[in-house]
Structure 1
Amino acid sequence: MPPRFICQLRQFCALAAASAIIVFTVPTVQAAGRECSTRGADIIRQAYPTAQNVSERTFKVGNETIALPADAGDNPHELICRTWPAQPELMLAAVPLMTSKSEDGNDGDVELLVLESDSLKLKQRLRLSDLLTDDAFFVSRVAFDTAYYRLSGSDLAFGLRIERRGSSGPNPFGETTLWLFVVDDNRLRPVLDNIVVAGHQGEWDTNCAGEFHATERTLAMGHPSPNGYSDIVVTETKTKTISTLGRDGGCVDEKNAITTVHRLPSRGIAYHVPDDLKRTE
């Protein structure tokens, strides 16, 4: 892989990593972790009593496959779970329900579970259709985001981040989207979906010359609205980089960054995300 391409990828990865830090908290994005490795099979048996254990780390539920996480790695098609730091009596799990997996694309849903941390008793669940279905832009990571999203006096949300990547060298592409969920009236429901919190794309000659665009967004809770829900303040930084070959044969980068603030008011029991902040379909 050309050194210049590696350099650009490192820049994009740094932006993506930075966006995982919500401005009012410490980093709280986590994938599988030890909890899934040691208790994953028990979680599956609690939530899917008819699941058949077909291998050491694989279950079948009808025509869908559930994979438990390995001790190491960050596979988006494996179970992830985490104790909710703001409510440690609860555990969160995201179950990948895969119907097909191949080099050409994958098909699958994600089912979110809220369980009691000690007993693993299932309290709420919510199925998200086609969240792991991909083709040109493949899902590369799924992680919980448990920043302190205090939406109102009684509603505390947790997040789920989905990272997608392209496979083209001349046209690099990456995007991380965030969903927020609350437990309300003994059910789990989404309150914000598909907002892009990190993204990059570009076109270059795989040597030096090219144009790249990167987006980073951070979320913070604003003042409460009349219905009791706080607005969400989104600070967005868009960076454009033009790379050209200098006289000495080295690459020269010219960068231009613009910062914008968006405010997402609550509409009843959810937040409206404008189309220009949503993920690429």
Structure 2
Amino acid sequence: MRSVGLLLCLAALHSTALAACQTGLAERLHAKLNLQRALLHELSVCEPWRVHLGRSIVVLPLPGRAPDTLDLEVLVVQQPDNGNSERATVLAQARQTVPSGGADDLVVTDIELDGARYRLSTDLRSFGLRITRRSTAMQQPASSETLSLFALAPHNHLELLLDELAIRKERGQWTAGCAGRFEKHESQVAVSRSSVSKGLADLRVSRSDWQSVNELQGEDCVESSERPRYSESLLRFDGSQYRSAD
């Protein structure tokens, strides 16, 4: 019954522990930058950047200028020594436009800072941003998660190096009783220790794919799963962003 539990989880837009700012920092920065659009408070992110003492990563989500999109204002913020967030200074800023809604009905429900450290070169500090989307369609549940990588380049220039790599995708279709088909894809990203392109380490992506089917056998709902399939790929920096080497 694992797929049934997964189905119910995906179909419900339940309240989660979102990475929202609790100190008012996001609201103050939104006002200071005069962004002219409403701040989507429930998706805001304020997290310490642990590789830089006194600095934080702040994400201000705004309704996108294009239909079915969000504009994310991604900020590197210097916090004062006394911890007074009212005196926080924006060191670097980048904008990322991401889809939300549209034809696939996948809506952004969570944005969070990735906990991994991506050491792409000896002198470049980077961080990851994860975006989760979910569908509300009861009979066609779906969810996805993507990873983007940003780096703080010299002169406090914030660069988007990896734009929404899909690292998880779940999708299914079922009838009200039991019958259904489900598929799941997961990817793990690791920094290569042996290969470099244009001055930055390559990224190795390990992907797993599963499929399962639910069928009613007598009075029991029985799940059968195919053996997972595994594949690997390489992303190389082309001087602007990471792209597939295939």
TM-score range with shorter-chain normalisation? 0.7 to 0.9
2:147 maps to which of 175, 178, 190: 178
1-side partners of 2:46 and 2:60: how far apart?
A: 9
1:215 counterpart residue number:
185
Q: Give the AA of the match of 1:165.
A: R
1-side partners of 2:196 and 2:240: how far apart?
A: 12
Is residue 257 of structure 1 aligned with residue 219 of structure 2?
no
Q: Write out per-residue CA displacement over residues 136-186 of structure 1, whole angstroms, 9 at most, x where no aligned residue.
A: 221111111141100111112111111111121221111111110001122
State the number of aligned residues.
230
Alpha-carbon spacing, 1:108–1:236, altered in 2? closer, same or farther (3 Å): closer
Q: Give the AA of the match of 1:32.
A: A
1:274 to partner: Cα distance: 7.6
Q: Give me the CA root mean square deviation.
A: 2.9
Aligned identity (percent) is: 23
2-side partners of 1:259 and 1:199: how far apart?
A: 15
Task: Give the TM-score normalised by the residue count of structure 2.
Answer: 0.81
Is residue 126 of structure 1 aligned with residue 126 of structure 2?
no
Alpha-carbon spacing, 1:247–1:50, altered in 2? closer, same or farther (3 Å): closer
1:152 maps to which of 118, 121, 131: 121
1:83 counterpart residue number:
48
Asked if structure 1 preserves the Cα contact closer than 8 Å seen for 2:30 and 2:39, the reply is no
1:252 to partner: Cα distance: 3.0
1:133 to partner: Cα distance: 4.2
Moved more, 224-233 or 246-255: 246-255
Q: Give the AA of the match of 1:214.
A: K
Equivalent position SS for 2:143: strand
1:255 to partner: Cα distance: 3.1
Asked if structure 2 preserves the Cα contact closer than 8 Å seen for 1:200 and 1:213, the reply is yes
Equivalent position SS for 1:134: coil
1-side partners of 2:151 and 2:39: how far apart?
A: 25
Asked if structure 1 preserves the Cα contact closer than 8 Å seen for 2:93 and 2:158, the reply is yes
Alpha-carbon spacing, 1:212–1:67, altered in 2? closer, same or farther (3 Å): closer
Alpha-carbon spacing, 1:99–1:221, altered in 2? closer, same or farther (3 Å): closer
**Where in structure 1 are there 5+ consecutive unaligned residues?**
14-29, 52-60, 69-74, 276-281
Q: Give the AA of the match of 2:200.
A: Y
1-side partners of 2:2 and 2:115: how far apart?
A: 35
1:6 to partner: Cα distance: 4.5
**Where in structure 2 are there 5+ consecutive unaligned residues?**
12-16, 81-86
Q: Give the AA of the match of 2:168.
A: A
Equivalent position SS for 1:7: helix
| Residue pairs, 1:1-281, within 5 angstroms | 6-9=4-7, 31-32=18-19, 36-40=21-25, 43-46=26-29, 48-49=31-32, 51=34, 61-62=35-36, 64-68=37-41, 75-76=42-43, 79-98=44-63, 108-118=70-80, 119-129=87-97, 131=98, 133-135=100-102, 136-185=105-154, 186-222=156-192, 223-225=194-196, 227-273=198-244
Q: Give the AA of the match of 2:48.
A: T
1-side partners of 2:213 and 2:240: how far apart?
A: 42
2-side partners of 1:133 and 1:4: how far apart?
A: 28
Asked if structure 2 preserves the Cα contact closer than 8 Å seen for 1:47 and 1:122, the reply is no
